[in-house]
Every structure is written in C-alpha cells, then in structure tokens.
Structure 1
C-alpha cells in the first residue's frame, strides 16, 4: 500500500472526510486529495500535521504495510490509551473470540 492509499485508509477509519482532515491538518482538502491520489508528496511538516490531525504516531503513519497492517496499528493505538487492567480485559475477550472460533471449526 502506497502512502496515499494508507492515508486514505486511516482517514476513513477515523470517519473523516478530505475536507475535515484538510481543516484539522491545515493542509486543505485539495492537498489531501492530491496526496491520497499520489499526485503530491507530503513534506515533513505536512506529515507531522497529518499525524497530529489523525492522532497517530508519525512513524505509524509513514510505515509501510510490511511492518503491520493499518487496522492492527489502529488496535495498538487504541490499546496504548488503555490502563493495564483494561488491556488485560480486552486480551481476555479476544482469547474468548478465538476459542469460540476453534470450537465452531471442530463442530464442522
């Protein structure tokens, strides 16, 4: 996934329009559109503004998909905001989901 597509994916995951991201990042909707369509490369300052507007770590914003898919990065960013106890509870819930999936597989 190139940077423009990654930016578009993250923007949509946040429920933002190009106009909203353009406003929050102070880059303008036209610039956001050009970046997402690969017609413009963002400057370092633009990358910083985008990461702040999207509330995502700059390295997570610019990293390629070989590191982690964007949806997993989103999960990690949410988890970073939780207390250790909250993360423990979420982990337990995820383990229940996985065990239920295994049970369904065994029944087939």
Structure 2
C-alpha cells in the first residue's frame, strides 16, 4: 500500500512539474502592472529562462539529463526544426506543447546552438 501511494504521489508531482504553473504567472502579472505591461509590449524572449522554468525538472538544471535525456549537445544530434517538433509533439514521456508559440521557437533555436 505504501509503495502504491508513494508511486501515485511521485507521478502526480512529475506531471505538475512538467506542466508548469501558468496560473501563478498570470496572477503575478495582475498584481504588478509593470510586469503585465512589459509582457504585453512583447519584451525579448529569454530561452534560457524558459528552459530553466519548464525543462530543468526533467532534463537537469545544467541540461545534463535526469528523468529526461541530456540536452547539453542536442544541437549536434537534432536540427532546430526537429527540436521544435519534439517540443510541439512530445516524445516518449515528454508531453506535447510544454512550451508554445514564439517561446517554443526561441527555445528550439537556443537548444540547436548547443553542440
């Protein structure tokens, strides 16, 4: 029974970590009008920050891998378009669309430079 409960809790925490917490991001924008204005103004996308927020729980903070594969040298294995496809469609245990739109494109470009 303890093993089943532990497995359930662990699995749930992984799903929550992979999905991120967009609700708190929206709430912080509502509480800070300057942040909301900067977001609306289309400030520059920071791919490294996005990767740290959305990917490091599985791929490691230094991209050396963990539950997910290492991404340190992913640009030598996959093209930018292939990386974007994985982000959009998922692969293995990775769910699709963890990052979307311009952010996904910026992250794919940034990761493709990792060789």
Question: If the length of structure 1 is used for normalisation, what is the TM-score?
Answer: 0.30
More helix by share: 1
